[in-house]
Structure 1
Amino acid sequence: MRRYRRTLAAAALMATLVSGTAGWAAGSGQSPVTGPPPGTAAWLDDTSLGRALPDPEKTAPAQVAAFFRTLSPAQRHALTARHPSVVGNLDGAPVELRYRANELAVAKDPRYARLAESRRQILAFDPRGRGTVAEVYGNLLTARHVAVVVPGSDIDARTYDRPGDPYGTPAGMATALRTATNGRTAVVAWAGYTTPLGVGLDAATGGLAEAGADRLARFTGGLTAAGVRTPKLFCHSYGSVVCGLAARDAAASDIVVLGSPGMRAANVAALRTDARVWAAKDPSDWISKVPNVEFLGLGHGRDPAEKGFGARRVPARTAHGHTGYFAPGTDSLRAFAAIATGGDVR
């Protein structure tokens, strides 16, 4: 009975936090971007090869990769030119082909002209909704180590690399991590799902995370199908909810959560993953004030940085605030670099 009362009290506190600090967000729920990429209908109607093209929604990444291996270079580039929005988001398609496809797709959308700058490696781009994007730092095909940064709230194609918040955005985190590994790790800044806006009901519930988890699992499967090394996932804030839900199906050797409100799991075993699971939370992170409960769909459950959860602890004594984990010189960034390069944390 005492535990039940504590759960009720924590749920009430969560509801108060949501309505009191960000009530404006409760009425502006986000609709997740789901389904196949733009241009899929034209892609499926294309008979230029004399055979059906793989359905972007139903074909497994490994089957997509096998399909592209049957094509000549001329056929690959012809499909890319005709269907850039599909090829650029087709998990399992060759990496270099996706870069070229997204270069073409971005060039058609003046809202995202900065993504068309030379030498940017855009691995995914979807302008629907607030926009989703994934950018690669380093060489995915030759790197011995690969990491994927999964962000939390308020991130989309316009904000994922905002310069005023260098270590609170996936692009900034990715750059810091690659630098900390002395360039030995290729890092993907994956703003590939519809994130919550603010600290409202979207952030306190799991709907957007469930949709994001499906996309993350398929994205990581597409990397391995395309010949990329199995990545390590670095999941910040609400992104750790996404990673928790994706853990069973995602291709990942390590899952690192930082500033997490919970992973929608009671412990590491409940994640049903063979990946090593790590957790970091610095003493000044405001996320500690969010109750770690899951009640009637509200909240994300146990704190993964809590000893009883079973995650390996990442030191974060010198990190500051909710977005300071990747700041240069911090113990957390040093630990992330060790994990990213296949090592351990002492």
Structure 2
Amino acid sequence: MSQTLRPWRYARRLITAALTITVMAGTAGWTVAHEEQPVTGPPPGTDAWLADHSLPGPGRELPDPATASPVAIARFFGRLTDVQQRALAIRHPQVVGNLDGAPLALRYEANARALRAERNKERAADPHSPLAARYSALLAPGRQILAFDPRGRGQVAEVYGDLAAARRTAVIVPGSDIDLAAFDRSHDPYGTPAGMATSLRAAMAEEAPGTRTAVVAWVGYTTPVGLGTDAATSRLAKAGAPRLDRFLAGLSVTTAATADAPPTVFCHSYGSVVCGLAASAMDRTRVSDLVALGSPGMRANSADGLHTGARVWAARDSTDWIRRVTGYDFMGLGHGEDPTDPSFGARVVSADRAHGHTGYFAPGTDSLRNFARIALGDFGAVRCAHDDGPTDCRHGLV
């Protein structure tokens, strides 16, 4: 970067930071009143799970969801019969459904049980409960719910495709305003985790018709609501990063045998802050590629500063408003360097024909086509945002 551009960049950062602080100060009452409390810790029902001593024989205590690794969880279930596994899922659906490392089909079954129980509870309190309707929608035939937690605004993860048999997989990590109610809303579909995942899998099938693929839409953390201090700080991302790390560790245990490569993780908006904080644990055995799109920053000043073994990509369309709030970290506000800036060192891909902050997965966009090719490992077909030597998005690929 030239010496003439550097002062302007710093000035822009200071101006943006000052404007953000002014906005936050002017809405302090609103943001404090609506501050989100992150859901953390083990799943609901853990106390009853730990108190269950029904398995016969010594040393058959149930693993602690708070401390047992996904590898240990997988090893534990591997020692059980199918009957014993199902019995645990029946007695403790909320725990089994959220145990990273547990068999995938067992988690689907457990989460269906947990959803039915929550739906019945809601209906008993209010026959016309909107929440009961949301639970019913998630219970529709063919849906594969990999995680479900009714606490707070609700968290959910859904699988599209046969995850157990997929050769190529991807994980979507969404940003602000996403929760159980917004997971698959009908308006702005490509701004929802369900819409993103469905569109990405369709694009992967178009690019490689014979390849078995699966996409996971993961809403496993408490997202910010609106444009308050939660969105401008990393508090919720710090609470969500360990949950993402554990989820990806669980996938590496349950899918590695059939996959050609570890998953590609797509991090949208505030989700890229979560990914940035979790990135240091993302070695090549857990995540192959990390893609930040519509990102306000990743809590790092460079791709190297993420300390990840994954390849780092970035995309932003020219109409995305997020460009106005990237590139600074001042008094705890902001999330660091813009990942699409050449100085960051990510491989920047074209997002032509994408529109706004939630249009990256819309059919017909360069961004969706590029994302599908990255997830498939077809790097030579990726269209770069720049094709001029060191800023070429394929430069240095290994």
What range describes the TM-score normalised by the shorter chain of this pair? Answer: over 0.9
Residue 178 of structure 1 pairs with residue 201 of structure 2: yes
Residue 131 of structure 1 pairs with residue 154 of structure 2: yes
The within-5 A match list for 1:8-23 is 8-19=14-25
Residue 238 of structure 1 pairs with residue 270 of structure 2: yes
Structure 2 distance, partners of 1:180, 1:157, is 25
Choose the corresponding residue for 1:323, options 358, 367, 371.
Answer: 358
Partner of 1:299: 334
- The letter of the residue matching 1:41 is D
Structure 1 distance, partners of 2:39, 2:340, is 30
Counterpart of 1:188 in 2: which secondary structure? Answer: strand
Partner of 1:56: 65
1:121-162 deviation line (CA, Å, top 9, x unaligned) = 000000000000000000001111000000000000111110
Choose the corresponding residue for 1:273, options 299, 308, 313.
Answer: 308
- The letter of the residue matching 2:140 is E
1:202-240 deviation line (CA, Å, top 9, x unaligned) = 000001001111100000100111134421101100000
Once the two structures are TM-superposed, the CA of residue 9 in structure 1 deviates from its matched residue by 3.5
Structure 2 distance, partners of 1:168, 1:17, is 25
Once the two structures are TM-superposed, the CA of residue 20 in structure 1 deviates from its matched residue by 5.6
Counterpart of 1:134 in 2: which secondary structure? Answer: strand
Query: Gaps (5+ residues) in structure 1?
Result: none
Percent identity reads 61
- The letter of the residue matching 2:157 is A
* Partners of 1:22 and 1:199 within 8 A in 2: no
* Partners of 1:253 and 1:276 within 8 A in 2: yes
Counterpart of 1:189 in 2: which secondary structure? Answer: strand
- The letter of the residue matching 1:91 is D
Residue 189 of structure 1 pairs with residue 217 of structure 2: yes
Choose the corresponding residue for 2:94, options 72, 77, 85.
Answer: 85
Structure 1 distance, partners of 2:94, 2:295, is 33
1:267-303 deviation line (CA, Å, top 9, x unaligned) = 0111011101000000000001114211221110000
The within-5 A match list for 1:59-78 is 59-78=68-87
* The 10-residue stretch of structure 1 (155-164 or 122-131) with the greater mean CA deviation from structure 2: 155-164
Partner of 1:157: 180
Structure 2 distance, partners of 1:203, 1:311, is 23
Counterpart of 2:171 in 1: which secondary structure? Answer: strand
Partner of 1:289: 324
* The 10-residue stretch of structure 1 (42-51 or 167-176) with the greater mean CA deviation from structure 2: 42-51
Residue 29 of structure 1 pairs with residue 35 of structure 2: yes
Structure 1 distance, partners of 2:19, 2:202, is 40
Structure 2 distance, partners of 1:158, 1:40, is 25
Counterpart of 2:252 in 1: which secondary structure? Answer: helix
Label 1:26 to 1:303 Cα distance change in 2 as closer, same or farther (>3 A). Answer: farther
Once the two structures are TM-superposed, the CA of residue 10 in structure 1 deviates from its matched residue by 3.3
Structure 2 distance, partners of 1:195, 1:151, is 8
Counterpart of 1:274 in 2: which secondary structure? Answer: coil
Structure 2 distance, partners of 1:14, 1:35, is 32
Once the two structures are TM-superposed, the CA of residue 4 in structure 1 deviates from its matched residue by 7.3
TM-score by length of 2: 0.84
TM-score by length of 1: 0.96
User: Aligned-pair RMSD on alpha carbons?
Assistant: 1.8
Partner of 1:144: 167
Structure 1 distance, partners of 2:220, 2:29, is 26
* Partners of 1:19 and 1:26 within 8 A in 2: no
Structure 2 distance, partners of 1:36, 1:255, is 26
Query: Gaps (5+ residues) in structure 2?
Result: 1-6, 120-130, 384-398
* Partners of 1:68 and 1:93 within 8 A in 2: yes
1:168-189 deviation line (CA, Å, top 9, x unaligned) = 0010000000000117420001
Counterpart of 1:86 in 2: which secondary structure? Answer: helix
Partner of 2:140: 117
Counterpart of 1:248 in 2: which secondary structure? Answer: helix
Counterpart of 2:336 in 1: which secondary structure? Answer: coil
Once the two structures are TM-superposed, the CA of residue 25 in structure 1 deviates from its matched residue by 3.5
Residue 169 of structure 1 pairs with residue 178 of structure 2: no
